[in-house]
């Protein structure tokens, strides 16, 4: 059981070298566990495409993810390195080092055209997985109507982009015989589960399985295109889950906290030239083995990765032989974001050790549910596993990246993830995540309420969690956000001040404090907090944007313009910063530049009502009311609560000579803004204008009695 198997790559001399390199299609399925697919024994699954791949190719019965998180697992999938070696340990932090070779870089250097099509912000190019791709399509819509739309897009949209790239005659496919490597990432099975029709109705009681059925249909579209092109026999198709989903096992609802098989065992299917149909590989393998194996099957082997990475299994798979047993590594550093202990796991054959504050040892052959911890009765085995695990974790690579900014935090939150914070070391030993699972589950439910707009409900639950785990920075920060969103600005400010005192080097905490202070009507203190955030992380576009808003409130239009421009330099698709830049330029009288900024905002977010209002205001100021009216009307259709656009609409109607509509719009503005103290001055002006219109035009003295 404890013999250490060789984990090096197969030497290049033994790797197949096909005369015509195969195309490679890699599809990664976010949050899909193996036992919900028909080929893996799920009797009620609707996965005909995946089942067909298993029938026509080979299926890995025990494929293990290196982490129950999207970014670390995909970094392993594309490099063959385990997280301690590639350095991406959690979602939202770090960037893959340029010195690490990816599968895409290796294939592109060998004449492949390469394209990636991404389903969620968690794999945004800023994290470095774009290395080697000619096209890295991570263009997630950034509209203002739904927070989740800013973080993910449906599988159908991702597959549409991939099919357009794969189609003959595409601009990047000038050489018809040129092999391609296409990576398609589908995120839909992530919570909350909301499959499209007809799967929503069909799986009304099992929405997670409905998401997987919908994904299966989208994979079918990709495979149908290969058939249509006559390229199916030349294409090596790989489908892999990046991690699973707990679905209540061991008390965990989703994933990321624990290292049990529910979140580590994933589907892995291969079909392609030279691979016999119907093979089942029963020896456990790691997702770290996939990149070296794909490169080996293509005759373009990666550099040797042993002893801390994946293996090239090409020779064994082509021969129909089982790969040798090996040590398989997994970890989760996610609990550290909550101030708890991280976990690591080592699997060899059916035996698995989970290392943490209380080690656990399982014999998965006899106990697949991981219900019986064997660490006490098999003490020597547990110690041997622990020693090998420590060796694999030694000399971990640190990812290269600036601190996590507020945009990353908010967009990860919309996906259900906590971004890592710059925690100060606390007293005593970190708590065991296994013992905190009930609190974690309650936290996820509170976050769901907060994202759904039920801030008061969320605040009550989060206050209870803070009482139970007072040193938890995530619980305290979420409670502050819930109080801020529920209108308790004083309570939010106090909590953010406590968080800043506990983690004074965390720029995101200072940013959150700045936002809360601004909403509380304390702009000077807010500006000081924003400056403190930028002193710790000068590359945070959100903090520059917030600083610009505070400077604009103080009447400092030119410094505000500079702050907005800097935010756009850091994030060229930052719609709010572009719109705010338009406002600053308009205040400075730089009309053509202001118009360009507003249009830039709309290019990034077509439903950005503030930018539409800005374009309308420019038209009014140029005395072109007919041109202005459609902008204001569209802005109000998107944001009926935008009082400034409603007042501007009334002014435009009056300028256009439409007194009845102008009077109605003034009255509508007065009614809708009556509880907003920020529009007190505008209401006084609107009342005067409405009264004048209601009185009608003045009549000559000769008229009347």
pLDDT digits (tens, 9 = 90+) for 330-382: 999 999 989 899 999 999 999 999 999 999 999 999 999 999 999 999 999 99
Question: pLDDT category, 405, cuts 50, 70, 90?
Answer: low
What's the pLDDT at 229? 93
DSSP output for 331-398: EE-GGGGGTB--EEEEEETTEEEEESSS-EEEETTT-TT--S--TTTTHHHHHHHHHHHHHHHTTPPP
Pick the CATH number of 539-607 from 1.20.140.10, 1.25.40.10, 3.40.50.2300, 2.60.40.1840: 1.25.40.10
Q: Is the pLDDT of residue 613 over 60?
A: yes
Residue 645's pLDDT is what?
Answer: 92
Global pTM value:
0.83
φ, ψ for residue 499 (rounded to 5)? -65, -40
Percent helix, strand, coil in the chain, to 5, is 50, 10, 40
Find the mean pLDDT for residues 491-505: 87
- Angle formed by the axes of helices 680-695 and 659-672, to 10°? 150
Domain 19-325 sits in CATH at 3.40.720.10
Residue 462 has pLDDT above 80, yes or no: yes
Q: Give the ranges where 7-69 is alpha helix by DSSP (H).
A: 48-56
The CATH number corresponding to 446-533 among 1.10.443.10, 3.40.640.10, 3.30.2270.10, 1.25.40.10 equals: 1.25.40.10
Handedness of CA 652, 655, 661, 664 (dihedral sign): positive
Residue 625 in 3-state DSSP?
A: helix
Please, what is the end-to-end C-alpha distance for the chain in angstroms?
112
Per domain, the residue ranges of the chain are 19-325, 446-533, 539-607, 609-695
pLDDT of residue 281: 96
Please give the angle made by the CA atoms of 336, 341 and 346, to the nearest 5 degrees: 110
Give me the pLDDT at residue 302, please: 79
Residue with tokens 């063959």: 80
Give the C-alpha distances (Å, rounded to integers) separating 57 from 280, 284, 317, 465, 682: 9, 18, 11, 49, 69
Q: What is the pLDDT of residues 50-89, one digit of tens each?
A: 999 999 999 999 999 999 999 999 999 999 999 999 999 9
Say whether 446-533 and 19-325 share the same fold.
Answer: no
Q: Does domain 609-695 have CATH number 1.25.40.10?
A: yes
């Amino acid at each position: 059981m404890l013999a250490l198997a060789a984990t090096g790559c197969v030497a290049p001399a033994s790797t197949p070298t096909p005369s015509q390199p195969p195309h490679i299609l890699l599809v990664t399925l976010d949050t899909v566990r193996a036992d919900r697919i028909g080929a893996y024994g799920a009797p009620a699954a609707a996965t005909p495409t995946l089942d067909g791949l298993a029938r026509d190719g080979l299926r890995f019965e025990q494929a293990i993810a290196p982490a129950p998180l999207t970014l670390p697992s995909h970094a392993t999938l594309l490099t063959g390195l385990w997280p301690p070696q590639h350095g991406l340990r959690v979602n939202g932090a770090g960037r893959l080092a340029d010195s690490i070779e990816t599968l895409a870089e290796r294939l592109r250097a060998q004449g492949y055209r390469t394209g990636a099509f991404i389903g969620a912000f968690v794999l945004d190019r800023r994290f470095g997985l774009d290395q080697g791709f000619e096209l890295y399509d991570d263009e997630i819509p950034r509209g203002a109507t739904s927070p989740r739309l800013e973080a993910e897009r449906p599988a159908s949209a991702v597959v549409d982009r991939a099919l357009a790239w794969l189609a003959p005659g595409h601009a990047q496919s000038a050489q018809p015989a040129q092999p391609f490597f296409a990576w398609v990432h589908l995120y839909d099975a992530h919570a909350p589960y909301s499959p499209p029709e007809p799967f929503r109705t069909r799986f009304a009681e099992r929405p997670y399985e409905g998401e997987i059925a919908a994904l299966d249909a989208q994979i079918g579209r990709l495979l149908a295109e290969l058939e249509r092109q006559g390229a199916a026999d030349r294409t090596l198709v790989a489908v892999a889950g990046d991690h699973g989903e707990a679905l209540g096992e061991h008390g965990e609802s989703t994933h990321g906290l624990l290292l049990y098989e529910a979140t580590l065992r994933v589907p892995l299917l291969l079909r392609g030239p030279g691979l016999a149909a119907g093979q089942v590989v029963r020896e456990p393998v790691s997702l770290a083995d996939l990149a070296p194996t794909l490169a080996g099957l293509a005759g373009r082997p990666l550099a040797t990765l042993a002893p801390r990475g994946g293996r090239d299994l090409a020779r064994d798979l082509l021969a129909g032989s089982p790969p040798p047993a090996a040590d398989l590594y997994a970890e989760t550093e996610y609990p550290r974001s909550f101030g708890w202990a991280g976990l690591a796991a080592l699997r060899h054959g059916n035996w698995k050790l989970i290392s943490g504050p209380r080690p656990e040892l399982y014999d998965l052959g006899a106990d697949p549910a991981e219900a019986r911890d064997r660490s006490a009765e098999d003490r020597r085995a547990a110690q041997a596993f622990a020693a090998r695990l420590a060796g694999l974790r030694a000399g971990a690579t640190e990812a290269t990246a600036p601190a996590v900014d507020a945009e990353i935090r908010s967009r990860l939150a919309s996906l259900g993830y906590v971004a890592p914070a710059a925690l100060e070391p606390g007293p005593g030993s970190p708590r065991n995540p296994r013992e905190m699972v009930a609190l974690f589950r309650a936290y996820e439910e509170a976050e769901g309420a907060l994202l759904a707009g039920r801030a008061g409900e969320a605040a009550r639950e989060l206050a209870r969690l803070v009482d139970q785990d007072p040193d938890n920075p995530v619980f305290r920060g979420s409670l502050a956000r819930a109080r801020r969103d529920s209108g308790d600005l004083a309570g939010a400010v106090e909590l953010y001040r406590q968080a800043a005192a506990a983690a004074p080097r965390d720029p995101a905490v200072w940013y959150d404090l700045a936002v809360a202070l601004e909403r509380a009507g304390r702009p000077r203190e807010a500006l000081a907090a924003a400056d403190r955030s930028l002193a710790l992380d000068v590359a945070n576009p959100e903090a520059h944007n917030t600083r610009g808003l505070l400077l604009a409130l103080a009447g400092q239009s030119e410094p505000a313009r500079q702050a907005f421009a800097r935010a756009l330099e850091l994030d060229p698709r930052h719609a709010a910063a572009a719109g705010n830049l338009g406002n600053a330029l308009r205040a400075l009288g730089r009309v053509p530049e202001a118009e360009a900024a507003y249009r830039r905002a709309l290019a990034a977010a077509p439903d950005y009502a503030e930018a539409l209002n800005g374009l309308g205001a420019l038209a009014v100021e140029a005395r072109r009311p007919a041109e202005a009216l459609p902008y204001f009307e569209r802005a109000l259709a998107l944001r009926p609560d935008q009082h400034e656009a409603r007042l501007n609409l009334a002014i435009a109607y009056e300028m256009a000579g439409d007194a009845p509509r102008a009077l109605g719009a003034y009255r509508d503005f007065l009614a809708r803004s009556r509880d907003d103290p920020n529009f007190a001055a505008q209401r006084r002006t609107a009342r005067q204008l409405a009264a004048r219109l209601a009185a009608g035009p003045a009549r000559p003295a000769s008229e009347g009695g």
